[in-house]
Amino acid sequence: MYEGVIVFFDVASAVGFAAALVIVLNLRADILDHVSKTLLALVLGIYVLVGMANILEHASITAYFDRYEDYFEFLFPLTFTYFLYSVIVNRELDRRKQAEEALNSALMTADDAKNRFEAVIAAVGDGISIHDTSFKVLYQNRVHRELIGNHAGEFCYKAYRRRDQVCEDCGLAMSFRTGGVHTVERCATIGAKIVYIEVTTSPLRNYKGDIIAGIEVVRDITIRKKLESQHAHMRKMEAMGQIAGGLAHDFNNILTGITGYGSIIMKAMLDGDPLRRHVEQILVSTKKAKALTRGLLTFGKKQVINPRPVQLQGIVENAQKFLPRIAGERIAVKVTLTDRDLTILADSDQIEEVLLGMAANARDAMPNGGSLSIRAGRFVLDDEFVKVHGYGRHGAYARISLSDTGTGMTEETIESIFDPFFSTKNSGEGAGLGLAIAYGVVKQHTGYITVESEVGKGSTFSIYLPLM
């Protein structure tokens, strides 16, 4: 009985350890690493052998192991301890590895974020730079470098404006002082170009909230400024046209009365009446005043026009007959017309008058002679035109350009060239209504008139009339 129980326990021991050995040998690597698994298998193997030795001994099959099993057994606790130590060490190594991976991953994420940030900054259409608190340029994106030049590592006040100390209107200094965002507009000279820039500055803080650097965003607003100025000019012209037109209309009514009563007096007077020549003078002056008001009415787009479908080439050819007489002998006139269809809805008399008036202006701009070139052709008004001039409706237009090789005009003159009563001529040489009338006529034909000029090189006036 006693022996039987002993054998039973030995069998239970051998079978249990053998089963554990099989299971452990098949454990997945994520449950137990290779070294720990080997050590545990060794522990179990030892006790499979001890159990089997005990069974054999009790069954009196052999006593061979009896002498040695204890020497096997002492390996068990030591191996088991080492197994445990190995598991702990490997766990620690795993933890370190995971921490390292997490750190690497975080660094990679940070690196990715930095790359993304740099890509976004580089792709932004505005110039962006970062300065430290001593105003040294730390970073510039591509647009900033193109706009201002590469000045990384330099002091901005020295690099941008050649100064020895911080500029008094520096937005960045204001941001450092107040901790807020500041926007200033200024005119800057970049190379030979004068540009308008809008500079927005903002402080950059560290995690404690201390200002450690500043960001400067530079936007080229030259085009915007130009468009704003052109819009303002157009509004001014509209307002002037309304005032001039309204005034001319009322004044014309008064003149009609003067002319009517003057004519009645003239009819009632005898031929030899001494006052007759005074009445004649009144009527002559009234006629001049009527011509003036007609000009103002045209500028104010209040003149009645008679538009009909006409070929622009026909109008130019008709005007061409009068050009030699207007231009004089010292000016060579060259007319270039396209063969393409240029049918416009226009009052041909008025357009012809505008052309002749502009030819007369060109002549006056060339006192020592020169050449006047008139070209007529098709033109497609697109975004580029709108971008340059700040106005314009897309579509196909007939364009007449008058280019002279005269004295040219300054920017200031060009600004006021279409204003009524503006003239660069001497007093008495012109009323200053010619181009104002041209402007009014073109506007009444829903067209556009532009001027390009350079002092000493000449001017080009272009009229754009919508094609039918």
Partner 1 sequence: MFQESEIINFISALVSVLIILLISRKKEVPKFRFIYPGFFLIVSGDVFTLLEGLFWYKTFNLLEHLSYGAAGILFAAGAWSMRNSPATAEEKR
SS3 153: coil
| Backbone phi, psi, residue 416, to 5° | -110, 10
d(CA 345, CA 311): 9
**Strands, E, within 47-142: which ranges?**
127-132, 137-140
Query: Measuring CA to CA, how many Å separate 361 from each of 32, 213, 338?
Result: 100, 59, 24
Binding of residue 20 to partner 1 (CB under 8 A) = yes
Q: Which of 27, 152, 221, 266 binds partner 1 (CB under 8 A)?
A: 27
Question: Is residue 97 a contact point for partner 1 (CB under 8 A)?
Answer: no
- The verdict on 35 binding partner 1 (CB under 8 A) reads no
Our finding on whether 280 is near partner 1 (CB under 8 A) is no
Applying CB under 8 A, does 128 fall inside the site for partner 1? Answer: no
Q: Whole-number minimum distance, CB 83 to partner 1, in Å? A: 10
Helix runs in 371-432, H state only? 383-389, 411-416
Q: State how far the alpha carbon of 212 is from the alpha carbons of 183, 202, 452, in Å.
A: 20, 11, 49
Shortest distance, CB of residue 65 to partner 1, whole angstroms? 12
For residue 19, state whether it binds partner 1 (rule: CB under 8 A).
Answer: yes
Q: Counting every residue, how long is the chain?
A: 468
- Which residues between 67 and 86 bind partner 1 (CB under 8 A)? 70-71, 73-78, 80-81, 84-85
Q: In the complex, what is the shortest distance from the CB of residue 81 to partner 1, in angstroms, rounded to a whole number? A: 4
Query: Phi-psi bin for 346: left (phi > 0), alpha (psi -120 to 50), beta?
Result: beta
CA 43 – CA 39 distance, rounded (Å) = 6
- Of residues 87 and 190, the one with the C-beta less far from partner 1: 87
Residue among 77 and 260 whose Cβ is closer to partner 1? 77
Q: Which residues contact 363 (CB under 8 A, 6 or more apart)?
A: 326, 327, 328, 331, 372
Picking from 285, 280, 337, the residue whose alpha carbon sits closest to that of residue 311 is 337
Contact with partner 1 (CB under 8 A) among 45, 51, 127, 241: 51
**Which of 225, 222, 221, 203 is closest to 212 using CA atoms?**
203
Smaller CB separation from partner 1, 1 or 192:
1
Q: Does 24 bind partner 1 (CB under 8 A)?
A: yes
- Of 90-98, 223-231, 302-310, 374-382, the segment contacting partner 1 by CB under 8 A is 90-98
Q: Which is nearer to partner 1, 37 or 131 (CB)?
A: 37
Q: Which residue has the tokens 């003067």?
A: 258
Is the Cβ of residue 84 or residue 204 nearer to partner 1 in the bound state?
84
| Residue 30 engages partner 1 in binding (rule: CB under 8 A) | yes
User: Contact letters (x/-) for partner 1, 201-240, by CB under 8 A?
Assistant: ----------------------------------------
Radius of gyration of the chain (CA): 49
According to DSSP, residue 360 is labeled H
With contacts defined by CB under 8 A, name the span among 30-38, 184-192, 197-205, 265-273 that binds partner 1: 30-38
Residue 101 Cβ vs partner 1, minimum distance, rounded to whole Å: 12
Which residue, 24 or 402, is less far from partner 1 as judged by CB? 24
Q: Which of 276, 139, 272 is nearest to 216 (CA)?
A: 139
Q: Does 64 bind partner 1 (CB under 8 A)?
A: no
Q: Which amino acid is at 272?
A: G
CB of 12 to partner 1, least distance (A): 4
**Residue number, 73 or 364, with CB nearest to partner 1:** 73
Q: Is 65 in the site for partner 1 (CB under 8 A)?
A: no
401 contacts 459 by C-beta, under 8 angstroms: no
Q: Give the Cα separation of 37 and 87 in Å (integer).
A: 9
Asked if 47 interacts with partner 1 (CB under 8 A), we say: yes
Q: Choose, by CB under 8 A, the member of 59, 62, 97, 98 that binds partner 1.
A: 98
Angle ∠(287,290,292) on CA atoms, nearest 5: 115
Of 356, 377, 371, 369, the closest CA to residue 435 belongs to 356
Residue 56 beta carbon to partner 1: minimum distance, rounded to whole angstroms: 14
- Of these, 39, 45, 53, 54, which contacts partner 1 (CB under 8 A)? 54
Binding site for partner 1 (CB under 8 A): 2, 5-6, 8-17, 19-21, 23-24, 26-28, 30-32, 44, 47, 50-51, 54, 70-71, 73-78, 80-81, 84-85, 87-88, 91-92, 94, 98
